[in-house]
Homo-oligomer: A and B are copies of this chain.
Amino acid sequence: MISVVVVGSGNVATHLIQAFSQVDTICLKQVYTRNLDDLETFKITIPVTNSLDLLEEADVTIIAVSDDAISEVSSQIQNSFVVHTSGNTGMQQLRNSTRKGVFYPLQSFSKEKPVDFHHIPFCLEVENSKDMAMLEILANALGGSIYHISSDQRKNIHVAAVFANNFTNHMYQMAKDICDTHQIPFDILQPLIEETADKVKRLSPKDAQTGPAIRKDEKTIKNHLNLLDSSQKELYKHLTESIQKHGKKL
């Protein structure tokens, strides 16, 4: 049985705490939070502290605090093996003097939204290779998929995720704006949104690319531009150009 301490009470910490406490093979020993009120909604009974000096030792101590606070918080921890959960932060930004690692779940979390950890990719990294097995057991216990990812790769995954998540969501937002302006229900686009996401499971995005930009269908592009307001137009042009340049590069 692997013992775990979780440091933090935000989006990621909340879901990890909930998930670990439902798994028999993991012992969630303690949770640290700056503000004890944050954990009041929990129906489960886990020892909680608001002092890092009172942190109990565990096989794995998971720091799930804001990126900016990882170095400072880790510098105050004496536990034997400390990992953070950030996509964006090198392993060496941990400042504990003991063993270090990374346990980064590649998904978008918010407190309100239930999370199913099944198939969530965990990007794992360790300083000492013998610690990897322990992180793999944790990820497996939650039902996640395991990837061995270096700090350098992880930073790049984080940028890739900005395209695949934040920027994609902005495309949906642009689409919704157009629908709203013309009294079209946004849900009319939902099957297309799903199909677009589904397609890249089987086809590479390059092969899945369709539409006026890749076809160089200037007539349709011009018609579309005429329908858009100035900021929509600007973005449409940049994206069309980027698709066409990309087509050339390959």
Contacts and interface: CB of A to CB of B under 8 A. Distances in A.
A147 B231 CA distance: 29
Contacts of A209: 166, 169-170, 173
Interface size class of A (residues with CB under 8 A): 35 or more
Contact of A191 (B106, B185, B195, B234): B106
Contacts of A157: 178-179, 182, 184, 188-189
A152 B206 CA distance: 31
A197 interface: yes
A171 B187 CA distance: 21
B162 A211 contact: yes
A124 to B, nearest CB: 12
B166 A168 contact: no
Contacts of A212: 162, 166
B121 A169 contact: no
A163 B190 contact: no
Given A192-B106, A235-B238, A164 B159 contact: no
A205 interface: yes
A185 to B, nearest CB: 7
A182 B154 CA distance: 9
A191 B161 contact: no
Contacts of A235: 238-239, 242
Nearest to A149: B184
A171 B168 CA distance: 6
Contacts of A205: 169-170, 172-173, 175-176
A18 B89 CA distance: 52
A201 B185 CA distance: 12
Question: Can you list the 9 inter-chain pairs with the closest CB atoms, starting with the nearest?
Answer: A166-B211, A173-B205, A197-B197, A160-B175, A172-B205, A160-B178, A163-B175, A164-B175, A156-B182
17 contacts: A108-B192, A147-B188, A155-B227, A160-B174, A161-B192, A164-B171, A164-B196, A165-B210, A166-B212, A169-B200, A170-B205, A170-B239, A170-B242, A173-B209, A174-B242, A190-B200, A197-B197
Given A106-B192, A157-B178, A159-B228, 5 more contacts: A88-B220, A108-B199, A163-B175, A169-B205, A173-B205
